[in-house]
Amino acid sequence: MDVIHECTRNEAIIEHHESNKENSPRNNKKSSDETIVDTNASDNAVQRARAELRVIEQERSKLEKQRKTQLKDFETSKTDARRLLDKVTKKMTSIEQRELL
């Protein structure tokens, strides 16, 4: 569940950035250069978080497709095994079945 944790963390960074972007009390005390540097650093963190979020979402999608394919393969194998068991059971006599058990 690391993917979920990463998504949550990145979304929190983005939300934190958006909420602090507007009229932070600290911004009033800083010079305009300091404000620009802080804004750029914050924007970079948000861009990085969004990029990570996109990568994680792509990875999640790929893993979900893989899981569905594996589940289909498993269900097919299970069905084939049941058919084979039914065939073998029908061909065996009751004595042979008792010996197996």
Strand ranges (E), 1-101: none
Residue 58 has pLDDT above 90, yes or no: yes
Contact 60, 10 (CB under 8 A): no
pTM: 0.48
Phi, psi for 24 (deg, rounded to 5): -70, 135
Give pLDDT, residue 32: 62
Extents of the domains making up the chain: 2-100
Q: What is the DSSP string of 65-83?
A: HHHHHHHHHHHHHHHHHHH
Task: Tell me the average pLDDT across 62-73.
Answer: 97
